[in-house]
Amino acid sequence: MAEHEEQNRRTVLRLYQEVGNEGRLELLDELAWPDHVEHNPFPQQGQGVEGFKQRISMVRAAFNPRFTIEHLIAEGDKVAVMWSNHGTHVGEWFGFAPTGKTVIAHGVDIHQLRDGRLAEHWDVVDVTHFLSQVGVLPAPPAAAGSQRRSPLRVAPVGSEPRWSPCCGNGARTFACSRAITAGLPTSPAQA
C-alpha cells in the first residue's frame, strides 16, 4: 500500500473511532477540509466541515451509535468503508419520536481525500431495515425471524426513477421513507 493510501486509511479510521464513536467533533477541523462536500446530505444539513459536524451530531444525539468497520478499502484518493453501527434510539430522528429500541444500521461510505484530509463523502444506508427495527415499517419478509439482513436498495446508475425506496440519496431517501410510512407508491407496480 502506498504511503498516501495508508495515511488516508488512518484518517478514515480516526473519523469512525474518535469522531463517530467518541464524539470528538473538534477533530473534524483537523481531519476534513473546510469546504468538505457531502453528496447525500440530510435534510437541512449544511455543507463544509460545519455541515459534517452537524451530520455526526444528529446521528449521535438520536442513537448514541457505536460504529464497527466491517470492511475498509483504500485505493488512490478514495477510502470505501462498509460499516455497521449499534445504538439505542434515544432522540428524535427526522420526525420519528425516540423508541428506546436497540437498532443496528448498515451502510457503505466512500470518502475522497485530498492531501490526507477528508474532501468529499457519498453513502448508501439500509434505511428500510433501520425503519423496521424502530417499528415504523414491518420487518421485511427475508428478515422476519432470521438474522439475515435486508438488501440495500439502490437506484440504477444514471437513472432518476420516480420511485426509489431507500436509494441512498439524502433527502430523497428520507422522502422515500416517509412515502413508505404514508402508504404511497414505492414501486412501479404500485405507481
Task: Give the per-residue pLDDT at 42.
Answer: 83
Query: What is the C-alpha separation between 27 and 158, in angstroms, rounded?
Result: 35
Joined together, the cell numbers standing for residue 98 give 425516540
Regions of the chain with pLDDT less than 70? 1, 140-191
Task: Give the per-residue pLDDT at 102.
Answer: 93
What percentage of the chain reaches a pLDDT higher than 70?
Answer: 72
Task: Give the per-residue pLDDT at 187.
Answer: 41
Residues 34-65 have pLDDT tens digits of 999 999 888 888 899 999 999 999 999 999 99
For the chain, give every domain's residue range: 3-144
Task: Give the per-residue pLDDT at 146.
Answer: 52
Task: Give the per-residue pLDDT at 147.
Answer: 55
Around 139, how many Cα atoms within 13 Å sit in the side-chain half-sphere?
11
Domain 3-144 fold is Nuclear Transport Factor 2; Chain: A, (3.10.450)
CA 160 vs CA 55, 79, 166, 188: distances in Å: 25, 26, 13, 13
| Phi, psi of 145, deg, nearest 5 | 75, 15
